[in-house]
Amino acid sequence: MSNEPLYQLLATTDFAWRREPIQPPRLTNIQWRADSCDPGSILFFRRFDDGRSDREILERYLARSAFSVLVVNRMLDCFDRLPGKAIYVTRQHDWAETVSRFCDLAYPLDTTSIDFIGVTGTNGKTTTVKYLESILSAHGRRVLSIGTLGVFLDGARLTETGFTSPPQIELRRLLHDHRERYDLVAMEASSHALDQERIHGIPFQNAGWTNFTQDHLDYHHDEAAYFDAKARILDLIQPDGRLYCSSAAVVERLQERGAPRVAVELLHPDPLPPEALAAKPFLALEYNGQNYALACALADDVLGDGEAENPHWRHLQAVDGRFECQVIGNRTIVIDFAHTPDALDTILRAIRAGFPQARVLTLFGCGGDRDHGKRPLMGAAVARYSDQMIVTSDNPRTEDPATIVADILTGMPEEGHEVILDRAAAIAHLFDWLDARPAEEPWVALIAGKGHERYIDRDGHKVYFSDQDEVARNLRRLNWS
């Protein structure tokens, strides 16, 4: 990329404040990470109200970065400590659109020839997107999917971004780099991404909304702001598009806000036949049935009438860490990412309904350095539905795991649970406990909290750990097959 277009765009953009360079720099790229910059970089740095001072921001991100031009969303009191850098400050509500114009120059995207589909909701985004990807890929569509599990092309992993929804520049870079390889993009739209306008400029043909429950209040502060962030997905749907929704409560709440700018359709899933539940046991859960119905509605709009000859469920695969299950005789071992009170309540209630003859053993923990108030709520949710419980460590981060467990136990009865802080030892104990039960006794064992994650976050370090590996190790140890 030549110097002139980027510098010309800087010169002609209506910024609120600017400090022009003494000598126009040779600009070759745009970045959103300070540590990725070189002397040809424009760094787009968005300042959030996260409790850190401008001095901390300067010292952590800006002082040692090699960028030539800084674009920020508000005035910082450290500009005088960045001598020789050109600095531009956007107007209050112009950030996303300004970044989008530079993305159009650096990473052009032909949105007229590509279909975009977004999925939001507190839980179920990943599963719905992966179901949609499986259905459309089976019908010959070249699908790029973007979400918590990473970036996939036709089901094969390309990369991980570390985000449910990548930052705006990173998203455009991904879409541009693989532009010749896909026809359709299916992506998760997190509340953080919607609130921060990371998906600005991406025209959704249609979108889905799975559900809505309390979460992420450490960021959004209250439930109303969280819902408002989710509702911004409506602004990304094209005028002739539609929002499909699995939750009557969400539809009602959207209508109470006034007539939505696009059509909103509440789905009513049909019961699945026994052969579907036998072949795909994860569909026995009510909410997975809802995720499946949402994926089908979004897929059918793409495929049109008559293209899908077989039931869509035949094309589904279990999603990594989302009710990922193995059935060994009367034992069903489940790995799931459920890590909030609502997610645990939902999955355990669904297990009770989907496996009515089985008893339930649940292994779980809570993350450190996060909302302490949800710990006893998680303990109470597990206790409501489980016959036996093992409380262990999850991602303690900088907290003492024993302190986290003590908080969990305040929401649980005194009996019916064991505490084993080492997660590997806890999983081994789960298998030993099941092995000691009569073989004819049906059990579902839920290992909750980590799902697709392959690490334990402890004392500032992420150490490799996999629930899947531990399950495989114990299956071999006990000769279960």
CATH number, domain with residue 421: 3.90.190.20
Kindly report, residue by residue over 299-316, the tens digit of the pLDDT. 999 998 766 567 999 999
The reported pLDDT for the residue numbered 2 is: 44
The pTM assigned to this predicted structure is 0.87
The reported pLDDT for the residue numbered 308 is: 58
Residue-number span of the structural domain to which 218 is assigned: 115-315
Q: Is the pLDDT of residue 281 over 70?
A: yes
The reported pLDDT for the residue numbered 219 is: 72
Looking at the fold, whether 400 and 449 belong to one and the same domain comes out as: yes
- For tokens 């956007």, the residue is 90
- Mean pLDDT over all residues of the chain? 94
Looking at the fold, whether 185 and 239 belong to one and the same domain comes out as: yes
Type of residue at 441: E
Type of residue at 83: P
Looking at the fold, whether 175 and 267 belong to one and the same domain comes out as: yes
Looking at the fold, whether 60 and 9 belong to one and the same domain comes out as: yes
Kindly report, residue by residue over 410-458, the tens digit of the pLDDT. 999 999 999 999 999 999 999 999 999 999 999 999 999 999 999 999 9
More confident residue, 104 or 25: 104
**Beta strands at 461-464 and 455-458: parallel, antiparallel or unpaired:** antiparallel
405 in Cβ contact with 365 (< 8 Å): yes
Of the candidates 445, 374, 382, which has an alpha carbon nearest to the alpha carbon of residue 413? Answer: 382
CA-based angle 15:18:20, to the nearest 5? 130
Kindly report, residue by residue over 322-343, the tens digit of the pLDDT. 999 998 999 999 999 999 898 8
More confident residue, 139 or 214: 139
412 in Cβ contact with 377 (< 8 Å): no
User: 81: domain CATH number?
Assistant: 3.40.1390
Looking at the fold, whether 143 and 282 belong to one and the same domain comes out as: yes
Looking at the fold, whether 352 and 277 belong to one and the same domain comes out as: no
Mean pLDDT of 272-286: 91
Mean pLDDT of 240-265: 95
Kindly report, residue by residue over 197-229, the tens digit of the pLDDT. 999 999 999 999 999 986 655 675 688 999 999
For the chain, the domain total comes to 3
Q: How far apart are CA 2 and CA 168, in angstroms?
A: 22
Q: Is the pLDDT of residue 1 over 50?
A: no
Looking at the fold, whether 272 and 153 belong to one and the same domain comes out as: yes
